[in-house]
Amino acid sequence: MPTVEELVYNMILFVFLPLWLVCGGIDYLCHRRTRIEENSGVKESIQHCLMGLQVGIPMFLVIYLEVTVGVLLVCVIFFIWHEITAHRDLVLAEGQRVISVWEQHVHGYLGTIPFFLLMLVLAFNWTTFLDLLQFNWVGKMSFSFRRDPVGPNNYMLWYASSMMFVAIIPYTEELIRCIRYANKNR
């Protein structure tokens, strides 16, 4: 019988991370359907790319590096930055293009999944999180690769490949499409 820790760990790998990817892909399709390039354009598309980095960088750190106070500090800062960017993104898009019910629903997941993942990372690294809160940072800010890889064999290869095709390429295409449209209509 798996432990609760093993179950939660597998939920992170096989539920939350794939769901976040699927929601990002649906969000891209919603932007495409509303012809983002013809309304909120480059400014909004840059926000989308930025939000991907704001979640992707902490995810990379937690997956590949030992979780130290320094890693957790970066994760918390990037989460707060992501929330500010998400707010700015919605303010920018509102009134400039239709934000469908599907897109609004997907935004709920895109906003909450990073929060849940951060909370689970903090729970799995509770003593390190307490050190962060208590400013017990001396000697605990290092960034070094993990001794044990995260996930089963080939998981990260599968996930990175999925991310390339469901998020990185589509959102890059969106940005290029927005830039071309903006340049064509100058």
Residue 149 has pLDDT above 80, yes or no: no
The stretch 157-161 carries a mean pLDDT of 90
Count how many domains the chain has.
1
How far is residue 171's CA from residue 186's CA, in Å, rounded to a whole number?
Answer: 23
Range of the domain at 55: 4-184
User: What is the average pLDDT value for the chain, to the nearest integer?
Assistant: 94
Report whether 96 contacts 45 (CB < 8 A). Answer: no
Answer whether residue 106 shows pLDDT above 80.
yes
Q: What confidence category does residue 12 fall into, taking pLDDT thresholds of 50, 70 and 90?
A: very high
Using pLDDT thresholds of 50, 70 and 90, give the confidence band for residue 126: very high
What is the amino acid identity at position 148?
D
**CA–CA separation, 46 and 162 (whole Å):** 21
Q: What's the pTM?
A: 0.91
CB count within 10 Å of CB 61 equals 20
